[in-house]
Each structure stands twice: as structure tokens, then as C-alpha cells.
Chain A
Amino acid sequence: MDLSVINPAVLAASLMVAATPILLAAIGELVVEKSGVLNLGVEGMMIIGAVSGYAVSVNTGSVFLGFVGAVVGGAMLALVFGVLTQVLLSNQVASGLALTLFGLGLSALIGESYLMVRPPPVGDLSLGPLADIPGLGKMLFRHDVIVYLSLALVGGVWAFLRYSRWGLILRAVGESHDAAHALGYKVIRVRLAAIAFGGACAGLGGAYLSLIRVPQWTEGMTAGAGWIALAIVVFSSWKPVWVLVGAYLFGGVAVLQLNLQAAGVEVPVEYLSMSPYLITILVLIIMSTGRGRSALNAPADLGRPFHAPA
């Protein structure tokens, strides 16, 4: 197979863009799961973010406000899940799936009047001379703001979980809600905050699709990205940096297979189309051969309901 036709710098630039929606949703979900909550409704929150961001930016003429709208929209939908699972103690898996169903339906209802409308344009962030560095410039310094924001979020979440007091509390709640409760932490409030944050990130990822990548509102436009984000969180064994690796790996293989086709490399298309999923599984297997690693890293109370003993 002749790989010389693929320019790595160009490929890297493409994969960063391709992976950004998944990365945003996944880093949000990581925080949710770290707090001990499993929200399978990522797809629903993403698409609500996509439509609310689109609607707000069309109505206000501001892309920035659009992204704010997406964050709010995603977080609000997430809080529906939050109330169900934290206050009413509903089953998390089922609530998350219901959230996806509801989000897909609601987004299409909201979006009906925005079908043929065009969003305001987004300017690239100008990084001045950095963008002109040969190779590296195109690869790293010619993206839109959200790409950098997603990277900053990964760093922020990593630092937050590792070094901040609140991060410690969040992890404690996820590891053992009973112990955290005994220590006087407000388990439910912490989890609600984490759920809202997850929704906000997913919403941002959705709006990245509707406002920058596509940009147009069409029904069902997230087309399964939320599920991939969920898979990436598991893949990362709940470590922020590995979420980045996973999202870029997945995005990279997805982009690479299309590039190979475009370059006319002769590999059967069906194998190429499966490759992102198969390679992700393969890497996971290799990572999990360090016996029990991924299982040990899962927050101990993930998915378990919490009810404060009276």
C-alpha cells in the first residue's frame, strides 16, 4: 500500500476538525461518569445543542451567542436527566436512552423553521505568524476557536480533576457516594452539576457541527456521533488525556480511510469503512492486556443510584 500520497500535516489538520465534536462530547461525559453517573443520552444532548445553537445564532446574528445557546440547551436537557436520575432515582441507562429519543424528536420540532436558513459566518482565529510556519502552521494554527477550546477543555478537566478541591470531591462522589455523603458532601448537587456540565459540552459539540462543520441545520445531523463519544470515554478508561487520544485516533482513522480512497489506494471500501471501529477495539484490547486496568479505573459507583439515608 502506497502511503506516500498522504500528507501527514494535512491529515493531522483534518483529523483535528473531524474529531472536535466527539472530543467535546466525550470530555463532558467523562466528568459525568467520574461523578458516578452514566448518561447514555449524549446523542440527544448533542443534537439539541446543534439546533439550539443554530436557532440562537440565526436569530441574533452572532455565532458566539449561538454557542452560548447550545451550551444552555444541552445543559437544560441534561438536567431533565439529572432530575430523573438524581431526584427521582430513575434507572440511568433507560433514562439516558429516553433522553436521546426525546432529544432527537424535540430538535426536529424546533428545527422545522430553520431548515433553509443560513447561519452567520465564522471567522478563523488568526494566529498571525504562527499560521505561516510551513507544515506545522497548517496543521496546528489555522483552526477555528472551538478546536482550541476543545483542547483547552481537555487540559482544564485534567487539571480540575487532578489538582482542585472540587475535582477531588467529584471523584470521591463517583468512587463512593455513601462515604462522600458521610463526609458531608452534597452528593446530588455535585452530580447535578456534573450532568449539566456534560450536557453543556455535548451541546457545544453539536453546535460545532451545525454552525461550523456543516453549517446548516438538518434533522438527525449528529448521525451517531454521541454514541462514538460514549465509546471514547470507556476507551480512555476515564482519563482526560486518553479521551483526546481516543477521539483523535478515531477521527484520524476515519479521515485516513477517506483519504486513502481519495488518493485511489486500492483497499476494499467495506474494510476501510469498518476500520475506525475495528482499530479502536484493537487498541483497547492492547491497552487492557495490562490485566484489569480498565476495570480498576471505572468510578466504583458508576451507574448506581444514590439515596441519602435519612
Chain B
Amino acid sequence: MKTKLLAAAAISLGIAAAAAAQEKTKVGFIYVGPVGDLGWTYEHDQGRLAVEEEFGDLVETVYQESVPEGADAERALTQMALGGADLIFTTSFGYMDPTINVAAKFPDVKFEHATGYKRAENVSTYSARFYEGRAVIGHIAGKMTKTNRIGYIASFPIPEVIRGINSAFIHARKANPDVEFSIVWVNTWFDPAKEGDAAQALVDQGVDVIMQHTDSTAPQAVAKDAGIYSFGQASDMATFAPEPRISSIIDDWAPYYIARVAAVMDGTWESTDTWDGIGPGMVEIGEMSEVIPAEVRADAQALSDSIAAGDYHPFTGPINYQDGSPWLGEGETADDGVLLGMNFYVEGLTGDVPN
């Protein structure tokens, strides 16, 4: 038995050695949640699988899931770099400093950090303009609500989330001037029970459309029971289509990951800062179900197309701050710096941004 085991080990070691000789490009991924969260991490892992699909034997991918931010992330990164990774994607904001630290020690390894702002010679950053997608579903929500009250389940008051609320609200108001937003902060990215409770609280308060910026499907289930509408978040959540889920925002990292791996392979990789939206396909609007009236669907599609083509910016003035003082003048668009650090509500939203 023991010799058999050893023999098997020796054989597989041999195979591993032979494989390494073929000069595969090794790509690592560090995930903040489990790949089975069906939300943020799940979509990044779909991107990883797309890379494997695209390059087949030319590439080897490795990943580590549920890596806490901080010391553990630094170790995981070092581990991958030592293990011979050529390119490593770190897929959460909290990995910013660890990524920079480890990158300094491994100048030959390329790093890609999601949603951060620190770069280096061998560190790129990338992020998605989810607010573009939220503009589109905000429009749909504004058209679909009958009670004129839209519920919004928010995670943490960080710029990313606040940007989404503002964008959705501006476009819901444009579609329906009487719209009010009820925002519930759950202070978690993923807690199905709590998200479900939050959705129920919103339903009890009379909202008839729910948007969420958290990862679980629990709000969809509540919306279904209450007979109201909801949108998929991060992943399509298509199992809840056609009702209550009438459309969704999908993070699609596959095109970017494939492009960056290709760049490493042909030696053209450079440190860049990417902030892509609907146009390049990093943000996708999930199928709009037939529950949405045809004309609303057409309008939403037109909105999505004009954003994709670069003809329209979701933050185009006139837009005022919450207190009514002007932020953007007529025709003026927000610059990326302000958007990246957005920590204020636009006019018409009630309540304060918690901090």
C-alpha cells in the first residue's frame, strides 16, 4: 500500500515537472469571499474560468478563496509569486497595500488590483463603472414603480456604493419625477438573512421595486413573495426571472482578464489604470424580462447604448448637491476624481450618508 502510494506520488511528480517545462503562463487570483457566493467572487472566478477556456494548455490558473484582507493577503500573494505566478489578480479593495508591498518584492511578476488607486511599475488597477449599469436599471425602476417608492439595500457607505445610489436615483427621477428612495444600510456584503429582513422592511414600508448592492439572493425571494420587482446584482440571478427579477447588473471580468493574460504572454503588458463600463463589456445589463413594457425596454436599451457609445454620461448636469447647492452645471459631466471619492448624496435623496 505504502509503496503504491509512493509510486503514484512519484509519477504525478514527474508529470508536474514535465508540465512545468512547457512554459505555461501561470495566473493567480486572490478572492475575498468563497467562489460559491454567487456574487462578487463568483463572477471573478467565472472570469478565471474564461481565461482557462480561452488559452487552454498555454495557461495555468490558481486561486485562493476567502482570503482575509491584511497579513493573510500578503502571505497568499507571496505564496503565489514564489510558486511561479506570472500575473496575479487581487480582487478586493482591501488588498491594495498588500499588493503594493508584495509587488515591490517581485518586480518580475505582474499584479492587477481591482477597485484600488495605487499603482506601480508592475501593478495595474482596474475597476468597473457599475454606476452606468445602475443608471439603466434606475430608469427601469422609475418606470415600473406604482407607489413611487423604490427600496435600496446598501452595504457599506463607501464611494462605490454611494455612486450607485446617486446614479440610480438620478435616472429613476428622470423617468418619474415623483420617485422617492428608501435606503437601508445593512453593514454587510453578504448575510442572506439580514438582507432578506431588510427587503421585508422595505416591503412593509410600501416600496414596490427593490434594488440591492449586496450579494445574496434573499431580497429576490422576499420580492417574489411580496409580488414586487427586483434586480439581479453582481451575477444575473436569473433563477428569479422573469419575476420578480426584471433585469440585472452583471459584472463581467472575462474580457479584461483575457486581454491582460494575452498581454503578459506576448510581452506587451504595461501598468495601466482601467475603469470600464458598459461599452467594453465589463458591466452588462442582464436580460430585461417581458414583464417590463416594450417601450420601457426600448428606452432602457437606448440609454444603455448611448452610455456604451460614450454619447451620454450618467452624471451630466444640471445636478445639485443634496442641500440644493449646484454641483454640475448644465451639460457638465462629473470628472473621475470626484466620482472615485464620492461621499455625498445628490439633491432629492433623503437621509444622511452614514459615517
Contact = CB atoms under 8 A, between A and B. Distances in A.
Determine direct contact between A and B, CB below 8 Å: yes
Contacts of A115: 36, 38, 42
A213 B218 contact: yes
B36 A262 contact: no
Contact count band on A: 35 or more
Interface string B14-36: 00000000000000000001101
Contacts of A269: 157, 185, 187, 354
A147 to B, nearest CB: 13
Given A209-B193, A263-B182, A269-B187, A14 B36 contact: no
Nearest to B35: A219
Contacts of A222: 193
Interface string A97-128: 00000000000100110011010000000000
B218 A264 contact: no
B335 interface: no
A261 interface: yes
Contact of B193 (A7, A21, A116, A268): A21
B222 to A, nearest CB: 9
B154 to A, nearest CB: 9
B201 interface: yes
Contacts of A258: 184, 186, 194, 197-198, 200-201
Contacts of A167: none
Given A216-B239, A268-B354, A221 B192 contact: yes
A218 B191 CA distance: 10
Given A14-B197, A254-B194, A259-B201, A118 B239 contact: yes
A146 to B, nearest CB: 14
A266 B183 CA distance: 12
Contact of B205 (A118, A225, A259): A259
Given A115-B36, A118-B239, A254-B194, A262 B204 contact: yes
Given A14-B200, A268-B354, A261 B34 contact: no
A272 to B, nearest CB: 8
Contacts of B183: 261
A264 B350 contact: yes
A273 B204 CA distance: 19
Interface string A79-108: 000000000000000000000000000001
A258 B197 CA distance: 7
A216 B151 contact: no
A14 B226 CA distance: 12
A310 interface: no
A264 B191 CA distance: 22
A5 B187 CA distance: 23
B311 interface: no
Interface string A222-240: 1111000000000000000
Contacts of B196: 18, 213-214
A26 B354 CA distance: 33
B130 interface: no
Given A213-B218, A219-B37, A262-B151, A11 B351 contact: no
Given A21-B193, A209-B193, A266-B352, A214 B218 contact: yes
B193 A223 contact: yes
B248 to A, nearest CB: 14
Q: Which of A116, A223, A262, A266 has the most CB of B within 10 A?
A: A262
A17 interface: yes
Interface in A186-233: 209, 213-216, 218-225
A213 B193 contact: yes
Interface in B176-216: 182-188, 190-194, 196-198, 200-202, 204-205, 207, 216
Contacts of A10: 204
A214 to B, nearest CB: 4
Q: Which of A5, A225, A269 has the most CB of B within 10 A?
A: A269
B221 interface: yes
B217 interface: yes
A285 B157 CA distance: 33
Interface in A124-171: none
Contact of B216 (A14, A108, A221): A221
A215 B222 CA distance: 9
A131 to B, nearest CB: 14
Contact of A223 (B190, B207, B351): B190
A225 B42 CA distance: 23
Nearest to B157: A269
B202 A213 contact: no
A107 B197 CA distance: 24
B126 to A, nearest CB: 25
Interface string B344-355: 000000111010
Nearest to B36: A219
Given A258-B186, A262-B205, A269-B185, A108 B351 contact: no
B204 A14 contact: yes
Please list the 9 inter-chain residue pairs (A to B) with the smallest Cβ-Cβ separation, ordered nearest first. A258-B201, A219-B34, A219-B36, A269-B354, A262-B205, A223-B191, A259-B201, A262-B201, A214-B192
Given A14-B204, A262-B151, A262-B205, 6 more contacts: A14-B201, A213-B218, A214-B218, A221-B192, A255-B197, A259-B201
15 contacts: A14-B197, A21-B193, A213-B221, A216-B217, A218-B36, A218-B190, A218-B192, A220-B37, A223-B191, A224-B191, A255-B200, A258-B186, A262-B205, A269-B157, A269-B354
